[in-house]
Chain A
């Protein structure tokens, strides 16, 4: 601002009529001071009243409305977000539960299957064993009966041979006893 004033001073010396009689500084002429003061107060008062009573409340209300709207929208968005998060949580829980169930079912069916197989295997084995023991018994019986028939045949042959050699008829029971005795001694070789 000092530079301005210096410039003005310089220029004023060039323009010799700068401070001519009619000019000077019109601001310092008190002729219209009262008028300016009056009109300033009047105009500014009207401006102030219209701004304070009319315009500013409107602007303020609009700004508040906007702020509220933004806040409401944000709240709503937050609510939506929390809701969706909740839903997501529920969904995850359902998913987890069903997963658990699936694995449980899988385990159960596996166990059942294993048991079933085991049972079947067991019963099969038993049957096989039964068959084997039955067959063994049969074989044993066959052997026994064959020994008896061998004994009988040997008795007969023995009595016939004795009769033919000596012509005597030997006591049958004694022959039987001897045959049985021999067969008993030798039966271990065949059984």
Chain B
């Protein structure tokens, strides 16, 4: 079991089987780690907002820094019109970040290493952004497929490319996060396996790799959450501020 690096991604049921309309909605280890991540966010924010101090303590400071970080990210990429979507972006960023970070703990499960999870988030963002775009601009929203300053000869080709790139947004968004998470964790597991198989004599080299990779993976965990959130902001910007 330890030798299979993909074992860590397997989903299994915890507790009783829940079936609604013939669909298996059982509580699984994936669900458990979603709940854990969300609960950690809840506890963190609860502690961060428990006391309102003029001079913040550490946890309050971190909560406020995160708030300002996400607020700045949104205002930089999508402008002031994106303010109503701030809670969503904040929740999304925190959720992805915590899922990634919790996944870094040994014996835990990485929720975001599953394509279905990231795909649902990406699809939700894609559909929501498209609806917002049409809602704000009507059929003029379609003009994002026609970039300005393109020669007329190239226009059909460019438009097709633009449409394909637009439609591939949810795929790229979800696969980016999922693949990064899966690859990183597989690497860690493989090196962990090497440490065991090479034993006390030869195991030190893969162990040092493992340590370095853990650091890298923590960076990747943060970076991918940031990328996921900032790409959402960019898509939102396209829908809110139609400038081509």
Contact = CB atoms under 8 A, between A and B. Distances in A.
Nearest to B17: A35
A112 interface: no
A39 B31 CA distance: 6
Contacts of B56: 62
A25 B182 CA distance: 10
A56 interface: yes
A162 interface: no
Interface of A: 1, 4-5, 7-8, 11, 15, 17-18, 20, 22-29, 31-41, 43-44, 46-48, 50-52, 55-56, 58-63, 65-66, 69
B9 A44 contact: no
B11 A36 contact: yes
Contacts of B41: 47, 51
Contact of A59 (B13, B31, B49, B186): B49
B179 A1 contact: yes
- Which residue among A28, A31, A62 has the maximum number of chain B CB atoms within 10 Å of its CB? A62
What secondary structure prevails in chain B residues at the interface with A? helix
What secondary structure prevails in chain A residues at the interface with B? helix
Interface residues of B, number: 61
B170 to A, nearest CB: 14
Given A11-B190, A36-B114, 14 more contacts: A1-B183, A5-B183, A8-B187, A20-B4, A26-B6, A27-B114, A32-B28, A35-B30, A43-B35, A43-B38, A44-B95, A47-B42, A51-B41, A62-B52
Given A39-B31, A56-B67, A56-B86, A27 B23 contact: no
A36 B116 contact: yes
A178 B4 CA distance: 179
Given A32-B26, A59-B67, A63-B67, A51 B183 contact: no
Interface in B74-108: 86-88, 90-91, 94-95
